[in-house]
Chain A
Amino acid sequence: MSQQPVWSGVSRSPATSREVAHPQPANLADILERVLDKGIVIAGDIRINLLDIELLTIKIRLIVASVDRAREMGIDWWEHDPSLSSGKRDVLEENRRLRQRIGELQAGRNTQSDGAIESGGRQAEEEAPHQRPDDEGTSEQSGDASP
């Protein structure tokens, strides 16, 4: 690809200390993102709705791993696409619930350490981080996901 005049001129630019990666031979993700989702749509004789459930599984396979990460970062605009957003609300709801719970636990700890009898309180606190392994695991994954 470096033979392409448009690119070679740029990559030789002396003004930059490092180069943007050269355009690669188109990678599969780039191609699928375009040929499956873009391009002008006309209804053919052989009707394959690319949003059909079968292809949707591929679409989800392409995207879903990134979705959690992206939502953590507040990128969630494609959630308005109904074909991609079903079932995600539950996760958000669960996440909200877990956050609330962490808040409550935290508030509870503070109150306890203020008012608790020294010996009993100390013991309870030391156990605190291990009390709810399930919740810890879940909140680790989705704790930052809400917008």
Chain B
Amino acid sequence: MTEDFAVWLYAVVPATQCVQTTELTGVASGPVRLIAGEGVSAVVGSVPLSDFAEEPLRNHLEDLSWLEQTARAHHQVIDAVGNTGDVVPLRFATIYHDDSAVKDVLMERAADFEAALERVRGRTEWGVKAYVDPDALPTTPEQSGADDSPGTAYLLRRRAQRQGQQDAQQRALQRAEEIRTALKEVATRTVQHPPQDARLAQYRGWMVLNDSYLVDDDRAQQFAALVTSCDARFPEVRLELSGPWPAYSFTGDEEEVQQGDTT
């Protein structure tokens, strides 16, 4: 008895692009292959329906360690393909019943795929995060006078504390905005992500900036240098660069990307 499989999509690439898939291992430890279309081809793999039909998949998604393993496998394939050419990543868990359904969608959505490929051609995504250590920021001195009653002094102290923290936060946000403005000069697009969970990402302090920048390959070095110089210019802010990433954050719906641009 043979097991039933479905087709997991990783990415689309230009049909003319040479993609080495034989060395790759994908989701569910499966091999990776190519489904050729006219303008674009799909990078796919086979996954067992016992784990990837709607019901079992739903259950698996609740399991953070399964999710991690599968998300990393998905990412590794896209990353490997992106290292040798242009790539448009597909959203995690895009699954079809068979190859012919994939071919159909390659044809139906050809215009979208080609537009996305055009947008990221010769570019990669760089992640920049900025952290501030609140304890390192100067605090406002206490303002309570000697003749204040204990209750008034307490409330004044509370207010001063709160004011001091607000000021520090305001300054940190200003710095983040200055850094973002500087980095945008070298990038073609920018998307802001929400700050990450401190436990999952294992950092301390405030994450005041978590952005993705789409950068031309020939400006990547300039971009990284700019991150380094911003880091040096603002000692109270610690910057972290990640990348190059496949252009995940810039291949979604045009509207989404535009929205991210304007915020």
Q: Give the B-binding residues of A (Cβ under 8 A).
A: 6-7, 9-11, 13, 15-21, 23-24, 26-42, 44-48, 50, 52, 54-55, 57-58, 61-67, 69-70, 72-75, 77-78, 102, 105-106, 109-110, 113, 122, 124-126, 128-129, 143-144
Cβ B248 vs Cβ A66 within 8 A:
no
Q: Would you list 22 pairs from A and B whose C-beta atoms are within 8 A, ordered by A residue?
A: A16-B232, A20-B240, A27-B242, A28-B68, A32-B71, A34-B75, A34-B248, A35-B89, A38-B89, A38-B251, A39-B88, A41-B94, A41-B252, A48-B54, A48-B58, A63-B195, A106-B159, A109-B151, A110-B152, A113-B152, A122-B149, A128-B150
Q: Contacting chain A: which of B17-25, B30-38, B217-225?
A: B217-225
* Chain B residues, CB < 8 A from A7: 224, 241
CB distance from B240 to the nearest CB of A (A): 5
Beta-carbon contact of A15 and B229 below 8 Å: yes
A11 to B109, CA, bound (A): 41
CB interface residues, B 67-117, toward A, < 8 Å: 67-68, 71-72, 74-75, 88-97, 101, 105, 109, 112-113, 116
Check if B105 sits within 8 Å of A19, measured CB to CB.
no
- Whether A40 contacts B71 by the Cβ 8 Å rule is no
A73 touches B75 (CB 8 A): no
Chain A residues in 8 Å Cβ range of B199? 65
In angstroms, how far is the closest chain B Cβ from the Cβ of A11?
8
- State which of B54, B198, B240 has its C-beta within 8 Å of the C-beta of A65: B198
Q: Contact check, B192 vs A77: say whether CB atoms are below 8 A apart.
A: yes
Interchain CB contact under 8 A, A26 and B252: no
Which A residues touch B93, using CB under 8 A?
A: 44, 46, 48, 50
Residue in A30, A40, A110, A143 whose CB lies within 8 Å of B91 = A40
C-alpha gap A46/B245 in the complex (Å): 27
Distance from A121 Cβ to chain B, minimum over Cβ atoms (Å): 8
The complex places the Cα of A13 from the Cα of B196 at a distance, in Å, of: 29
B61 and A58 form a contact (CB under 8 A): yes
Determine if B74 and A35 form an interchain contact, defined as CB atoms under 8 angstroms apart: yes
Say yes or no: is B182 at the interface (Cβ < 8 Å to chain A).
no
Say whether A66 contacts B196, CB under 8 Å: yes
Q: From the candidates A50, A75, A124, name the one contacting B195 in the complex (CB within 8 A).
A: A75
Contact A40 to B112, CB < 8 A, known contacts A70-B194, A75-B195: yes
Q: Chain A's interface: helix, strand, loop or mixed, by majority?
A: helix
Taking a contact as CB atoms under 8 Å apart, the answer to whether B92 and A36 are in contact is: yes
The one of A54, A66, A69 that contacts B58, using a Cβ cutoff of 8 Å:
A54
Q: Is the CB of B155 within 8 A of A109?
A: yes
Question: For chain B residues 158-198, which have a beta carbon within 8 Å of chain A?
Answer: 159, 162, 165-166, 169-170, 172-173, 192-198
B46 within 8 A of A: no
Check if B137 is an interface residue, CB within 8 A of chain A: no
Please, which residues of chain A bring their CB within 8 A of the CB of B149? 109, 113, 122, 125
Contact B196 A17 (CB under 8 A): no
B173 engages A74 (CB within 8 Å): yes
